[in-house]
Amino acid sequence: SEITAALVAQSAADIPLAGKGWTIACLANIPGQDVDELLLGIQESSTEPMLVRTWAAAARVDRCRSAAALIEKASLISRFPALSRPIGKRLVHQLQAGDDQVPLERLLGISVRTPQVQPALSPIILASKPEELVATMQRATEGDVRRQAAAYLSTLATGGDASQIASTVATAY
């Protein structure tokens, strides 16, 4: 549309940072895959300052409407550390809303690969049934995920009924 074209032109123009920020904010509120690709272009631009690139990445995160989409964007945290808290908070909100069911193994994998979101995911992982953690500890394809499941079982045992956790592990083996 004309508005999108004008905003794209504005984002490429040599204007003050605040103007670029408002341009990105406006683009973030326009639906469509084409706008997401425009924001991706800004995010990946080597000519833009890191702040502008971070704003574009944040706008892309803000556009996510599912836990799966947020999980996909979690890989951006290594390049844009400022995204760790918004991604973590939105991911927890999506998971608590119950709209998305993300397997425990996948949550543990995210917490291993993206430690910045681990504090946000920990309460959800700890709310899992001990049997689920044991099963993940036994069958996860990645060794780091199996170790992470064991660590959460240990945390549950330390903070609660250790004999129940021990019994669950013993029964599984």
Q: Write the pLDDT tens digit of every residue in 74-96.
A: 889 889 999 988 888 888 888 77
Which tens digit of pLDDT belongs to each residue from 3-26?
Answer: 888 888 888 888 898 999 999 999
pLDDT at 99 over 70: no
Of 4-13, 68-77, 98-107, 146-155, minimum mean pLDDT range: 98-107
pLDDT at 34 over 80: yes
Smallest Cα–Cα separation from 155: which of 108, 110, 109, 114?
108
Distance from chain centroid for Cα 112: 12
Distance CA 85, CA 73 (A): 12
